[in-house]
Amino acid sequence: MLLTVDLERLRLRPGERLLDAGCGEGRHCFGALEGGARVVGLDLDADALRAAAGALRAHGDRVGRLAAMIRGDTFHLPFRDGTFQKVICSEVMEHVHDYRAAAAELARVTAPGGMVAVTIPTASSEHLYLRLGDDYFESPGGHIRIFQPRELARGLAGAGLRTVGVGFAHALHTPYWVLRSLMGLPRADESRLVRLYRHLLIRAAGSRAMARLEWLLNFVFPKSVILYAEKSPDPGDRSSDG
């Protein structure tokens, strides 16, 4: 299963409640459920939820744990303060105008002492795609900013989340998006080369050798960066700010 967030680094424990905000088709939801968590996925994309919600719920029924997906907005999470011990927000912040407000909502629903993992595209890969064509940033629903990890860490700190770790992922996807950018995103799927590389990525997902290769390449040209952040056990303590 292709996960951006390392659930071990997130310190996920069996029985904990986990929110995947911006879950898409739920890859982190399925991964966290396998890790013993009780899982809720949230997304605005009704089609993505429709594709995965039934399978996730059925898997939850089989293992006897909560496994649900709902439609909702990261800026107005429909949960009480401190509901979740763990929160994931993967490849969302580059799409939203007020990422600080989104970070504040993630922090609000995180329990004191809990952890949040936020992933964004690396600035180096984003600048590369931008040089190759404007489609990557002008397509509907596309990215509206190029993040530096330090900028995101400051936004998390302002919400009371102290960054305690950084990871990198998906180096093999960087050439894939280079190809898509070269071919022009609206037409990329018509390219035989793009289709062949996508087939390679699918095969790589089940290969230990390719996983090891990608781990090494993540030190060279990763596509995604992950910030792991903690919420203070004392909800009134924002000593990590600044």
Structure tokens at 79: 């949960």
Give me the percent of the chain exceeding a pLDDT of 90.
73
Does residue 95 belong to any structural domain of this protein?
yes
Model-wide pTM > 0.85: yes
User: Does residue 155 sit within a domain?
Assistant: yes
HSE-CB of 11 using CA atoms within 13 angstroms = 11
CATH code where residue 197 lies:
3.40.50.150
Name the CA radius of gyration of the chain, rounded.
18
Q: What is the pLDDT of residues 66-96, one digit of tens each?
A: 999 999 998 999 999 999 999 999 999 998 8
Whether the per-residue pLDDT at 239 is higher than 50: the answer is: no
Query: Euclidean distance between the first and final Cα of the chain, in Å?
Result: 36
Assigned domain for 6 exists: no
| pLDDT recorded at residue 185 | 76
Domain membership flag for residue 36: yes
Q: What is the DSSP string of 127-176?
A: HHHHHH-SHHHHSTT-------HHHHHHHHHHTTEEEEEEEEE-TTHHHH
* Domain-embedded: residue 237: no
Structural domain that includes position 222: 17-231
The 10s digit of each residue's pLDDT in 138-173 is 665 678 888 889 999 999 999 999 999 999 999 999
Q: What's the number of domains the chain is made of?
A: 1
Residue at 114 is within a domain: yes
Could you tell me if residue 174 is inside a domain? yes
